[in-house]
Structure 1
Amino acid sequence: MNYRHSFHAGNSADVVKHCLLIALVRALQQKQSALTLIDTHAGCGLYDLHGEEAGRTGESTQGVLRAFADQNPLLDDYRAAVQAVNVGAEPHLYPGSPQILAQLLRPQDFLILNEKHPQDAYNLRGVMRGTSAAVHERDAYELWLALLPPRTPRGVVVVDPPYEQLDERKRITATLAAAHRKWSHGVTVIWYPLKDRAAHERWKQQLRNLGIPKLLGVEHWLYDSDQPGIYNGAGLFIVNPPYAFTQALPPLLEALRAALEPEGHSGEIVTQWLGD
């Protein structure tokens, strides 16, 4: 499944991913000690919702535009992050995870971005100019392991691949196992698209077999039943989510489900601990 950021900017998956990422980092920042934020598949950092690639799919109409039309205050932080890169009431630009993470930085925090695709890496450097972010152009899985443990006491690794390669999930599973051995207390966030439940259940079982004690799965299914051959939603695996985040998660997830439900479907959000 090819999921390059530029074609899907601002869709429902982005809304869920970025709402939860903001809430997660905010929860970690309740402590004053420094954070290192690492984005292994950073993309371009900023997307034109009316550009050729995002415009071709038009997925933002079912994502960020629904979130902006919604009035639930639990989505205010997300809307503010998107509004920060726009002028006017309706968003025309969409911030990727690098831009959103940069907005969340405190003076003591660090941001490390990686993008292997040469053109995307070039665009990312331009977008992040003027920020404190370090930008790398390396293999994501090699970088993931090379930077652990970070220099700060705490940190977050965000893994958000395009799933272009058939072995993407296998590489994620193997790298996560090695990363957890190096940095067992670290927070890791892995984004994934949902296409069919059977394949997803097989991957979840492989992750369970890693024996990571605190591994939370959050799935956002758009439809009441699988729609064969199409994108059915997205989710996150989160290693070591902070307590403040998990406590605030249920009402936020319900707000997202209600804001993003397709016409004729109520959608479903499933949360499940996969660890021991």
Structure 2
Amino acid sequence: MNYRHSFHAGNSADVVKHCLLIRLVRALQQKPGALTLIDTHAGCGLYDLGGEEAQRTGEAAHGVLRAFADASPLLDDYRAAVQAVNVGPEPHLYPGSPRILAQLLRPQDALILNEKHPQDAQALRAAMRGTQAAVHERDAYELWLALLPTRTPRGLVVVDPPYEQTDERARITAALAAAHRKWAHGVTLIWFPLKDRGTHLRWTEQLRRLGIPKFLAVEHWLYDADQPDLYNGAGLFIINPPYAFTQALPPVLAALRSALAPYGHQGTITASWLHD
């Protein structure tokens, strides 16, 4: 599956990912100690929802625009993060994870971004001008391991690849195993698309066999039954999520499911432990 950020900016997967990312960072920030935030596949940082690539898929209409039309206060922080890069009531620009993370930084925190695609890296540098982010243009998996353990006692690594390569899941699995050996207490968030349950279940079992404790899986299935050859949803693997995050998660997931369910479907969004 090829999942370039620019084609899918503001879709349902982005709403879930960014809503939970905001909550995860804020839960970590309940302690005053400095955080290092690392985004291994940062993309362009900021996306034009009226641009050719986003318009070609039209997915924002089923994601961020649905979230903006929803009344749940549990989505307020997400809407505020999107609104921060826009003028007017309706979003025309969409902030990627780098811009959202930059909004969350405290003076003591650090933000490290990486994007290997040359054109996207150039756009990322432009989008992050004026922030305190450091931008790299390296292989994501090499950078992930090279920066661990983080210079600060605590940190978060966000792994959000486009899944263009057939070995992407295998590379994530190997890198995660190595990262855990170097940084067992660190927090890691891995985004993934859901196309069919068989592929996802096989990968989940491979990850389970790594034996990493405190391994949370969030799965958002859009439809009541799998739609062949279609994007069926997305999810997050979160290693070492703080208690404040997991405790508050159930009502947030219920609000996201309700806001994003396609017409004629209820959909499901669940959180379960691979290992606790």
Shorter-chain-normalised TM-score: which range?
Answer: over 0.9
What secondary structure sits across from 2:143 in the alignment? helix
Matches of 2:91 and 2:82 in 1, distance apart?
A: 7
Contact 2:253 2:270 in 1 (8 A): no
Structure 1: segments with no counterpart, 5+ residues: none
What are structure 2's unaligned runs of at least 5 residues? Answer: none
Say if 2:259 is the partner of 1:259: yes
1:223 corresponding residue in structure 2: 223
Which runs of at least 4 in structure 1 moved beyond 2 Å after TM superposition?
none
Number of residue pairs matched by the alignment: 276
Residue 235 of structure 1 pairs with residue 211 of structure 2: no
1:42 shift after superposition: 0.1
CA distance in 1, matches of 2:55, 2:137: 27
Determine the C-alpha separation between the residues in 1 that align with 2:228 and 2:125.
38
Q: Does the alignment pair 1:31 with 2:31?
A: yes
- Amino acid in the other structure paired with 1:48: D
CA positional deviation for 1:271: 1.4
Distance in 2, Cα, partners of 1:247 & 1:19: 15
Amino acid at match of 1:155: G
Residue aligning to 1:121: 121
% identical equivalent positions: 82
**What residue in structure 1 maps to residue 202 of structure 2?**
202
* Residue equivalent to 1:157: 157
CA distance in 2, matches of 1:229, 1:275: 31
Residue 189 of structure 2: SS of its match in structure 1?
strand
The secondary structure found in structure 1 opposite 2:272 is strand
Q: Distance in 1 between matches of 2:226 and 2:187?
A: 31
Aligned partner letter, 2:256: L
In the alignment, which residue of structure 1 is the partner of 2:46? 46
TM-score, with structure 2 as normaliser: 1.00
Deviation digits for residues 187-246 of structure 1 (CA, Å, limit 9, x no counterpart): 000000000011100000000000001100000000001001000000000000000000
CA RMSD of aligned residues (A): 0.5
SS at match of 2:111: strand
Q: Distance in 1 between matches of 2:50 and 2:269?
A: 29
- C-alpha displacement of 1:130: 0.5
SS, match of residue 248 in structure 2: helix
TM-score, scaled to structure 1: 1.00
Alpha-carbon distance, 1:270 to partner: 1.9
Measure the CA separation in 1 of the matches of 2:72 and 2:42. 29
Q: CA deviation at 1:74?
A: 0.3
